[in-house]
Amino acid sequence: MRTLGKFVLTGPFQAVAVISGFALLSFLFPFLIILSGGALALIALEIGIREAIRVLVICVLVVGAIAYFLLGGITTGTLVVWVSVLAAAYLYRNFRSLSVVLQALTVFGVVVTALAALLFPDLQLTWQSYLRNMLEAVGKTPSLQLMLPNPAIDLDRVQEHLPRVASVMTGVVVAVYLLTVSFTLFLGGWWHGLMADMNTFRKEFASLDLGQVLAAVTAALGVAAWFMKAPVLWQLTVVCLSMFFLHGLGLAHALIGKLRRPVMGFILVYGLMFFAAPQVVLMLASAGVLDGLVNFRKRFAKSGL
């Protein structure tokens, strides 16, 4: 990674080649957009925002032209991620705090989700129609059925749950977007530290704290959603919990880092996440909310642990 980072920082053409290359590959392998955005964040943190904007403009032209000729259209998803990462890198560069950046992203996600529910009241029906069409396509295509975790799954039974799934899809999409931007910024920040032989990013991630106010808001949204059954409240809860998952992950790094053999602890956490991702993510998000309310790190520090 250090060699790739040095290549990105060599000059604008090298940076454009790496960022655009990973962006184009992300059409086939979506997770590679994190590497593309991480390289852009590295430029913003290492050289400056102006240079990053200059590289961004060239990348937009290159990727846009290639996508138009290959796909017959221009995708905006990559541009949204690039611009969002650049904005996050700008905040991080000025405040030097991951916590502040993630707080801003959480508030932004909540506002976007609330506005979507207000401006597009029929969005749930749109999601339901989209999911139904997707399931019908899977049912008619044997090759797509093989991609399912359980090929023997009854698609008719799945369709019974579509209204419930569709009711939270807006929140899920916003949560995925926020996590993508966050992980991309994490990569850029870690890469930036790697270039200077610094280990500060690990310590900063371990001290990640979204704050008591957001924790209280998340808890209140969860309780209200449980009793009122309002879709928009569930959507807002999903968005907030997605960010508190990162808070909980930072807390796990802080506590495991104090163990005599921290490697075993990290293997356990990430191993469980690989085999039971939904359960582990929910546990870490809940731990993040609790930590935001009572500050476990401070209590453990006082007790000498």
Tokens of 64: 């846009």
SS3 260: coil
Tokens of 179: 């996590």
* pLDDT tens digits, one per residue of 12-61: 889 999 999 999 998 888 899 999 999 999 999 999 999 999 999 999 99
* pLDDT tens digits, one per residue of 228-271: 888 999 999 999 999 999 999 999 888 887 777 778 888 888 88
Q: Spell out a b/e string for 164-197, using b for 16 or more CB atoms within 10 Å of the CB, else e.
A: eebbbbbbbbbbebbbbbbbbbbbbbbbbbbbee
Instruction: Tally the C-alpha atoms within 13 A of residue 285's C-alpha that lie toward its C-beta.
Output: 20
pLDDT of 197 above 80: no
pLDDT of 187 above 60: yes
The region that residue 211 occupies, defined by phi over 0 for left and psi between -120 and 50 for alpha, beta otherwise, is left
Q: What pLDDT score was predicted for residue 50?
A: 93
165-169 average pLDDT score: 86
pLDDT of 95 above 80: yes
- The predicted model scores a pTM of 0.88
